[in-house]
Chains A and B, each alone.
Chain A
């Protein structure tokens, strides 16, 4: 096992633990911070895979902007009351069984597959210029649609949260 593999397993383990923390934490700020931890670890995995640009964008946007906005929102809305558990507890064992079944199937799929069959493994550092020309030429369309998605999200957020000046 080489250095990169050790790092990969370390990052993955922390990412998984943090993801569990996101789901299981009772304190919602802890959940948000765990989420940020997951994001950072995923950025780390991108680094190992020689995707420097992607890693930094992941840090910049998800760990930086998105995470901060989340925590920011929590700070503004936090009522100080502890979170109450879900009401229908009878669903829990079912959910647990379903989740475990999915993990088993997915785990089996991951282990049983010969991943090198379809893909030629290419791990080389792509310079940002090459990435940019691929993004803006070949993938220009999804890129533009993504900008529309963001525009719609922005307008939607304003529509939903805007304070109305007069009432019916």
Chain B
């Protein structure tokens, strides 16, 4: 690896890291604004023009607050648990493509790395995502946190299965585990068309994986206060937030890449790179809006409903979808 490509890699990494850190700031504000509109309120409007600096102020506040470790907590695990939230969330971004191959002095892809098992990499990190909630919930030594952790653990393991099944059907169509190849294979037709059922399964599982409404039982404010991170304060609390919004955005990017054709869309000649990034972002941001919309619209599920929905409806559907996809693929080729 020569110097230029090392530098390019570093630059790409830096950009992704910036997105990772900035995303929560923007999305929390967007969510509050959108929720406000949907509920006929104004949302935050005090800090800065139109309340635009609200989350910045919140961030500063969280950063300067006291970092409390409850006396009954398991100090070591309590201390490292937030890291287990953040690390998988950021690592997964390394295989997400933002745009096509472009010419910036030399050929380079708008992604950090093209792993030939990229989608598996994302899924594997997703499965590590369980440790954050479980470890923080256990170490807090508090009932609410414990319940939140149990719920989160069971929920993420269960929906990970259906998520994986939906992804496998995509892999069957694209013939590759690489996210870049998957996007390339959608040049003529977005996979959402032949894989509509898989798309729905993925969306539902994705929302559940990220613990968002209507599947937000692990942090259900009205039942268990805030779930697994109820005992956390200050910057550690902020880490949970960063991880949550980063994961939501990651999930939106995944849907974009797997089903909505990624950077594919009409392009302005000469500006393929820019239009690719614009397309990807437009699709992902639309999906993010969907997240907020869901939260404003749907009531929370009951826990047994959540589990039986996954195991008795989603899982059989996922298997069926994979089966049909495989058979169709075999017939066509």
Report A's interface with B, CB cutoff 8 A: 27, 29-30, 33, 36, 52-53, 56-57, 59-60, 63-65, 67-69, 71-72, 75-76, 125, 127-129
Contacts and interface: CB of A to CB of B under 8 A. Distances in A.
A127 B130 contact: no
Contacts of B127: 59-60, 63-65, 68
A78 B157 CA distance: 20
Given A29-B77, A60-B123, A71 B134 contact: yes
B154 A33 contact: no
A68 B124 contact: no
Contacts of B160: 64-65
Contacts of B154: 72
Interface in B135-162: 135, 137-138, 146, 149-150, 153-154, 156-157, 160
B177 A72 contact: no
Interface in B24-55: none
A79 B123 CA distance: 33
Nearest to A40: B128
B121 interface: yes
27 contacts: A27-B74, A29-B77, A33-B135, A52-B116, A53-B120, A53-B177, A59-B124, A63-B127, A64-B124, A64-B126, A64-B127, A64-B130, A65-B127, A68-B127, A68-B134, A68-B157, A71-B135, A71-B138, A72-B153, A72-B154, A72-B157, A75-B138, A75-B150, A127-B116, A128-B117, A128-B176, A129-B175
A60 B124 contact: yes
Nearest to A71: B134
A125 B74 CA distance: 42
A164 to B, nearest CB: 21
B116 A75 contact: no
Given A56-B117, A56-B120, A128-B117, 11 more contacts: A30-B77, A59-B127, A63-B128, A64-B130, A64-B160, A68-B130, A68-B134, A68-B153, A72-B134, A125-B116, A129-B175
A68 B146 contact: no
Nearest to A72: B153
A53 B128 contact: no
B123 A68 contact: no
Nearest to B175: A129
B140 to A, nearest CB: 12
Contacts of B175: 129
A36 B131 CA distance: 10
B102 interface: no
B117 A59 contact: no
A128 B116 contact: yes
A27 B77 CA distance: 12
B115 interface: yes
B117 A69 contact: no
Contacts of B177: 53, 128
Max chain B Cβ within 10 angstroms of own Cβ: one of A57, A68, A75, A129 = A68
Contacts of A29: 74, 77, 138
A133 to B, nearest CB: 13
Contacts of B149: 75
B150 to A, nearest CB: 6
A52 B115 contact: yes
A72 B157 CA distance: 11
A56 B130 contact: no
B117 to A, nearest CB: 5
B117 A53 contact: yes
A60 B167 CA distance: 14
A69 B121 contact: no
Given A59-B124, A59-B128, A76 B150 contact: yes
Contact of A75 (B120, B123, B134): B134
A65 B150 CA distance: 14
Contacts of B134: 68, 71-72, 75
Interface in B97-141: 115-117, 120-121, 123-128, 130-131, 134-135, 137-138
Contacts of B176: 128
Max chain B Cβ within 10 angstroms of own Cβ: one of A29, A64, A69 = A64
Contacts of A57: 120, 124
Nearest to A52: B117
Nearest to A29: B138
B56 to A, nearest CB: 35
